[in-house]
Amino acid sequence: MNKKQKVVLLFGFILIAAAIVIWIISGSEFFSKDGIWVQKPLTELEKSLGLEPQLEFHKQFVLGLLPHIAVFIGVVVVISGFLFFMLKTKKDKEKK
């Protein structure tokens, strides 16, 4: 493995690790979401009456694994693999 191949692999691993960290920070959701359900706070009267809290829908994008992160990681793997093997064949041709 030559120096250029090592750089390609290192850059690919760094991009994949960064994508996974971003996914974990954004909530580790499997699917992307366009909103979240938030529980409304109860007033004292509602608590004393024994009512259950209501949920409100708030529009908020939550990054998911499948449609976004997995596709990005797949593209990085394909490009890194292609460059890795292209650089390897060039080195083999130079030796001959």
pLDDT digits (tens, 9 = 90+) for 15-56: 999 999 998 888 888 888 888 889 998 888 888 888 888 899
CA-based Rg of the chain, rounded to a whole angstrom? 24
Burial of 68 (0-12, 13-18, 19+ CB in 10 A): middle
Which pLDDT score, from 0 to 100, does residue 78 have?
A: 96
What's the whole-model pTM score?
Answer: 0.70
Q: Is the pLDDT of residue 59 over 60?
A: yes
pLDDT band at 91 (very low <50, low <70, confident <90, very high): very low
* Mean pLDDT computed over 57-78: 89
CB 31 within 8 A of CB 64: yes
Which pLDDT score, from 0 to 100, does residue 73 have?
A: 94
